[in-house]
């Protein structure tokens, strides 16, 4: 990391209370496996690029974190076809719902400080009852099964996608309700949600190639100029420039533009105890359960599942005809895959009520390269 950026991270850490340090991640991370581990990283790179080509993805950026260090970081294809700009590990993309783990960190940091609790009834927020009632009447799949009376919803229910009736007993992925979770956080902290993300995550970690954006916060000029351009893929497999995704409100479900290396910074800090206390980290990664102890496929901000003997925590991101992403962790192995693309080609139609990351070809390639002996 350049000295200036490292120093800035240190200064910000002191200003914000000295509780977050800046993890060391360079933009030219060597493709070097840990000592004693034999891996064919070029074969992994070739597989990533072949998947990109097969799915007609114009530009793809990939990073792998192992044992707190970036061991693989590459760009494939083009961030901008018209200007012949290659994708790199430093290319910013709209990460869509991969924002959710970042938002979860903000919620848990506020809870650690006593600013709010995850189990405070949403009914105490005057606009929740009106929103819940109005939304429950909408002809959308995300309103299905939402019952607002009795008023038993909490912030935890929104952050774990367990707000559908019976509340706390059923998982149903709901980005609309997760987005609304930003409002209690803003109210409790008396700050915009984008400001909270910047204050608690982006600035302390030196994520200088990342930014929040919303209807009230245009993407800053340097990020807008560097960003991978979105593409829609026609039935003939040819890409066509797509419009940028419509600006959203200042919600928790999306609104972050980032790079694989900046997300690697976030991942290293998260696993290294730089962002959350051990208790908060454990709470974040623990799957929600029903009253009878049945495990549900989501924790706080993460899909949670088991596959081939491994615990997995992950999140996908998808903007139709624009961007897609995958952030996949194997916590017990201290392994992470981060994939960002400027089309929807990384998305694999995961069901709204399940966690099935094994159906992702990118995830399977990662498992084959890094988990198999």
Q: Give the strand order in the sheet containing 211-212.
A: 93-94, 256-258, 211-212
Length of the chain: 373
Going along the chain from its start, the domains and CATH numbers come out as 3-370 (3.40.710.10)
Low-confidence ranges of the chain (pLDDT < 70): 1-38, 126, 373
Q: Based on the number of CB atoms within 10 Å of its own CB, is 324 exposed (0-12), middle (13-18) or buried (19 or more)?
A: buried
Report long-range pairs for 212-216 (Cβ below 8 Å, ≥24 apart).
212/250, 212/255, 212/256, 212/257, 213/247, 213/255, 213/256, 213/257, 214/247, 214/248, 214/249, 214/250, 214/251, 214/255, 215/247, 215/248, 215/249, 215/250, 216/192, 216/250
CB 3 within 8 A of CB 11: no
Please report the pLDDT score of residue 1 as a whole number.
Answer: 30
* Dihedral sign for Cα atoms in the order 344, 348, 353, 356: negative
User: What is the token pair recorded at 5?
Assistant: 């950026």
Please report the pLDDT score of residue 372 as a whole number.
Answer: 77
User: What is the token pair recorded at 11?
Assistant: 């200064």
Helix (H) or strand (E) holding 370, with range, is: helix 361-370
Q: What is the pTM of this model?
A: 0.91
* Dihedral sign for Cα atoms in the order 281, 350, 154, 247: positive
Q: What is the CA radius of gyration of the chain?
A: 20
Please report the pLDDT score of residue 239 as a whole number.
Answer: 97
Distance, CA of 120 to CA of 123 (rounded, Å): 9
* Residue in the block written with tokens 């581990």: 37
For residue 71, what are the β-bridge partners? none
For residue 341, what are the β-bridge partners? 60, 324
Helices (H), 143-285: 155-159, 175-180, 182-189, 193-197, 221-226, 260-271, 278-285
User: What is the token pair recorded at 111?
Assistant: 């809870």
Please report the pLDDT score of residue 22 as a whole number.
Answer: 45
Please report the pLDDT score of residue 39 as a whole number.
Answer: 79
User: What is the token pair recorded at 33?
Assistant: 């496996």
Please report the pLDDT score of residue 38 as a whole number.
Answer: 62
User: What is the token pair recorded at 264?
Assistant: 């690697």
Strand extents, DSSP E, 58-195: 59-66, 69-80, 85-86, 93-94
CB 325 within 8 A of CB 104: no
Distance, CA of 260 to CA of 280 (rounded, Å): 24
Please report the pLDDT score of residue 131 as a whole number.
Answer: 94
Q: pLDDT, tens digit, for every residue of 139-174?
A: 999 999 999 999 999 999 999 999 999 999 999 999
- φ, ψ dihedrals at 152, nearest 5°: -110, 0
Q: Based on the number of CB atoms within 10 Å of its own CB, is 243 exposed (0-12), middle (13-18) or buried (19 or more)?
A: exposed
């Amino acid at each position: 990391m350049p000295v200036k950026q490292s120093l800035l991270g240190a200064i910000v850490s002191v200003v914000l209370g000295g509780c977050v340090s800046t993890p060391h991640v360079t933009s030219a991370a060597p493709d070097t496996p840990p000592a004693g581990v034999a891996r064919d990283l070029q074969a992994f790179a070739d597989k990533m690029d072949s998947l990109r080509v097969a799915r007609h993805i114009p530009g793809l950026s990939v990073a792998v974190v192992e044992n707190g260090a970036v061991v693989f970081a590459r760009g494939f294809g083009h961030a901008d076809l018209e200007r012949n700009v290659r994708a790199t590990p430093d290319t910013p993309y709209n990460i869509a719902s991969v924002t959710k783990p970042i938002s979860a960190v903000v919620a848990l940091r506020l809870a650690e400080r006593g600013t709010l609790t995850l189990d405070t009834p949403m009914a105490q927020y005057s606009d929740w009852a009106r929103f819940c009632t109005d939304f429950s009447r909408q002809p959308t799949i995300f309103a299905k099964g939402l019952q607002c009376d009795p008023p038993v919803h909490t912030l935890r229910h929104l952050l774990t996608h367990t707000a559908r009736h019976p509340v706390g007993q059923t998982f149903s992925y709901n980005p609309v309700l997760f987005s609304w979770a930003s409002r209690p956080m803003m109210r409790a902290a008396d700050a915009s949600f984008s400001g909270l993300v910047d204050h608690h995550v982006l600035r302390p970690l030196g994520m200088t190639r990342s930014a929040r954006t919303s209807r009230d916060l245009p993407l800053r000029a340097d990020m807008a100029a560097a960003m991978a351009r979105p593409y829609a893929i026609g039935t003939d497999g040819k890409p066509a420039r797509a419009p940028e995704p419509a600006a959203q409100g200042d919600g928790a479900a999306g609104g972050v533009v980032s790079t694989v290396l900046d997300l690697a910074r976030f991942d290293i800090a998260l696993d290294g105890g730089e962002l959350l206390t051990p208790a908060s980290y454990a709470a974040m990664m623990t799957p929600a359960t029903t009253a009878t102890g049945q495990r549900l496929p989501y924790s706080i901000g993460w899909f949670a599942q088991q596959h081939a003997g491994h615990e997995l925590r992950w999140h996908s991101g998808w903007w139709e005809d624009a961007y897609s992403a995958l952030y996949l962790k194997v916590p017990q192995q201290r392994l992470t895959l981060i994939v960002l693309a400027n089309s929807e080609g990384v998305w694999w139609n995961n069901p709204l009520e399940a966690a099935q990351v094994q159906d992702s070809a990118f995830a399977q390639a990662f498992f084959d390269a890094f988990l198999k002996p």
